[in-house]
Amino acid sequence: MISAGLTRWVAQVKKAPTGTDSYGRRNATYTDGVTVRCDLREIGGGEQTYAEGVADVSQYEVRMRWPNVSRASLTTLDRLVVRGKTLRINNIRNLDERDRVAVLDCVEVA
């Protein structure tokens, strides 16, 4: 179980759009979802080529309780806003398959 003292930050879930435009692509507007308590850990980062230039990419690990992930119906299409950082979710892991702690591998592109 994740300690309550470690879940000191509040994450706002931004749900991915479900509608599509005339070309069949997803709309770009994310809607506000629920807020959940979490722990934010910076893993590393640096400059990487991104789109048509260079971007500063930071990698984060977000830990939260597994029931919160289920309640928010979180997927890798969604985004998280924690401490002013908008994070893209790359992976959601159920730590030790015990349905207690979720570990989200996230990236912030600035």
Q: What is the CATH number of the domain that holds 72?
A: 2.40.10.270
pTM: 0.84
How many CB atoms neighbour CB 39 within 10 A? 19
The Cα-based distances of 33 to 21, 22, 45 in angstroms read: 22, 26, 27
Number of compact structural domains in the chain:
1
Measured distance CA(86)–CA(14) in Å, rounded: 9
Tens-digit pLDDT profile for residues 77-98? 999 999 999 999 999 999 888 9
Contact 102, 55 (CB under 8 A): no
Measured distance CA(72)–CA(44) in Å, rounded: 27
Does 51 or 99 have the greater pLDDT score?
99
Residue 1 banded pLDDT, cuts 50, 70, 90: low
Task: State both tokens at 54.
Answer: 């260079």
How many residues are there in the chain? 110
Domain, as residue range, for 12: 4-109
Mean local confidence (pLDDT), 57-68: 94
